[in-house]
Amino acid sequence: MPRTYSEVERENIRRSLLKVGGECLDELGVARTTVDYLVGRVHIPKGSFYLFFSCKEELFLELLDDFITEMDDVMMDRLQELDENLIVNSLTEVFTLFFEDVSDRGIYRFFEEENYTIIARRFEKGRIDREIEKLRELVRRILELFLIDNREDIEAFFDALMLLVRSLSVAERRDMRTMRLILRGLVLQLVE
């Protein structure tokens, strides 16, 4: 039987599991990450893991949710600092920031086919779709700040962003200049 934890302990353990889960997602992917490995890194009994998450896939889904929520705050704050008259530069800057975080935190691995399939098998389709929709909504709100409101253009831009996320590899992660150039090209296409 898992031991009981104080609220502070629960919060610290949950935060630790998410941190280690992010590292595992980046280093190992979903398939190679086990609950045993996660609890070993956090130093809790295996049964205690299930006080926080029903399965490892739920942990990874929560990582994605937390990432999207955090990116919403970070990107919107960053946009306040940028010059709205320089649409291409501002949008390139904010989406480059997004890609740096997607890369640095290993979130792109969530969208690799193998990892995505493992997580999708565990939940009803709508649960993952809701997370993707939150990301789509964030992109839409950012673009609308620059008076880009054509739904078809926004959808095409979002789809292109997701293709770029899925294409991140270790080699590309080392050189964000390439990603910045691609993002700038997408933004130029969008605002012309």
CB atoms within 10 A of CB 53: 19
Does some domain include residue 39? no
User: In terms of residue numbers, what domain contains 95?
Assistant: 55-191
| Domain of residue 148, CATH code | 1.10.357
Residues in contact with 159: Cβ distance below 8 Å, sequence separation at least 6, in sequence order: none
For residues 23 and 2, give the distance between their C-alpha atoms in angstroms, rounded to a whole number: 25
pLDDT in tens, 53-104: 999 999 999 999 999 999 999 998 888 887 767 889 889 999 999 988 988 8
| pTM, to two decimals | 0.84
Structurally, the chain folds into a number of domains equal to: 1
Please give the span between the terminal C-alpha atoms of the chain, in angstroms, as a whole number: 62
Does some domain include residue 123? yes
